[in-house]
A and B are shown apart, each in its own frame.
Chain A
Amino acid sequence: MSITTASQTIGPYWHLLPFEGWNDLTRFGATGDVITITGRITDGTGAAAGDCCVEIWQPRPEVENFDGFGRAATDKDGGFSFTTLRPEPVPGVHGRLGNVQQAPHVGLTIMARGLMKALQTRIYFEGDAGHDQDPVLNLIEDPARRATLVAKKTGAAAYHLDIVLQGAGETVFFAI
């Protein structure tokens, strides 16, 4: 068996990669229930993490011209934003967790200077049904920590999540 290639930090100069417009997941012409997701990333001192590469992935909805992928850079204030289609519930997980459908969510990857490996987590959406039964949210016992994955509803189709890399209020990050 071969061993997976080691991860290295994305560093401070990853912006050389193309990403302009990639934070709009409808950029190839997908239509549907459009939502915006904004976020803000801070570090263990409370300072804005202004050089992060943030990516989202959502396998649902399955509609034409929607590849479920977006990339954004955090700005000086640590902020990022995505325009996407409202995610749909996805099939559950077999085994002890039961095959319960998962509440709508997007997968989130954060890469940055100072992160030797990508951080992965999910964004759920305030007001959606199914959070109480969701097999991943239910792995987190502390309600305060569970809440770090749920974006606040800030408008009819707008959501916002504060992400804390380290320390008080630290976001729950995943080993997948």
Chain B
Amino acid sequence: MSDLRAFRPLVPGTQPEYDADVYGSTKFRAPKQQLLQVPTSLTEATGPQFSPSRYPSIIDISKVESGEAQGQRIVVEGQVTDEDGRPVPHTMIEIWQANSTGRYHHDGDQHDAPLDPHFQGAGRVFTDENGMYRYISIKPGAYPWRNHHNAWRPNHIHYSLFGPGFATRLITQMYFDGDPLLKYDPIYMCIADAGSRERLVAGFDLDLTMPEWALGYRFNIVLRGRNATPFEDSNDHGDH
């Protein structure tokens, strides 16, 4: 039986706005009309469920069959929970990133940095029953983009999560502790709340670090939590 409870509204300021002057590509893509507040029904409360049998895990992207990628090997571990601290078990996480020189294995990336034949840059892992996930990669390089003069993206790994419902879909980016580019990055900086920005930064973790092999980083992710009421009609609040 599916969980049919609605998801709680997001805390104001903790998410970026669609319209962000500092990020040029939002100019003609951000909707101008106010979003329609829609009550939760089966379509929103539930969502696609993935299993490794149909979506096989790719846990170690630091190498391909023909050899090892160039760069600093890293192991990234973390927990996916909801806002109430409950683990989100058996949920799929997709990741993708640039190689160690800051170049994506993608036709659209024309950055003048070498491609690495041993690095494809995409992985897929599932959380366990405690919401824990782990993968192995190499530290991505910073790369230039044309948003403004001398614009460089900080080191980052892209994340895609689904969670339990259509309403919990999350695309985000993981950053690295101490990166001097963070404070100049419009995509990172357009989140108003400093705490919410800082939670996108993975911490170096000596306990996760593997001797003579890989540096460890910890990155926890929080997905939206649910209300108490099933099929809540949000329009019932506050007006009678």
Contacts and interface: CB of A to CB of B under 8 A. Distances in A.
Interface string A15-41: 111100000000010000000000000
Contacts, number: 236
Contact of B48 (A12, A13, A68, A90): A68
A93 B28 contact: no
Contacts of B15: 4, 6-7, 116-117
B48 A67 contact: yes
A113 interface: yes
Contacts of A173: 31, 33, 35-36
A55 B30 CA distance: 18
B96 A13 contact: yes
Contacts of A135: 39, 41
Contacts of A171: 31
B31 A170 contact: yes
B147 to A, nearest CB: 11
B59 interface: no
Contacts of B54: 28, 67
Contacts of A114: 23, 25-30
B122 A4 contact: no
A107 to B, nearest CB: 5
A174 B10 contact: no
Contacts of A166: 28-32
A95 B221 contact: no
Given A1-B83, A4-B83, A13-B108, A116 B166 contact: no
B190 A107 contact: no
A4 B196 CA distance: 8
A126 interface: no
B46 interface: yes
Interface in A85-125: 90-97, 102, 105, 107, 109, 111-120, 122
Nearest to B28: A44
Contacts of B10: 4
Contacts of A57: 43, 47-48, 166
A43 interface: yes
B121 interface: yes
Interface stretch (B66-74, B210-218, B232-240): B232-240
B85 interface: yes
A49 interface: yes
B171 interface: yes
B127 interface: no
Interface in B1-28: 7, 10-11, 14-18, 20, 23, 25-28
A172 B42 CA distance: 20
Given A13-B106, A107-B44, A174-B38, A47 B28 contact: yes
A44 to B, nearest CB: 4
Interface string B171-185: 111000000000000
- Those 7 A-B pairs whose CB atoms lie nearest each other, nearest first: A95-B233, A114-B25, A69-B48, A114-B29, A44-B28, A116-B16, A175-B35
21 contacts: A2-B83, A5-B170, A9-B171, A17-B122, A57-B166, A91-B41, A94-B231, A94-B232, A95-B231, A97-B39, A107-B44, A115-B18, A116-B15, A116-B16, A116-B18, A120-B169, A165-B28, A166-B32, A174-B35, A174-B38, A175-B37
Given A67-B50, A116-B18, 6 more contacts: A4-B83, A5-B199, A6-B172, A90-B43, A165-B29, A166-B31
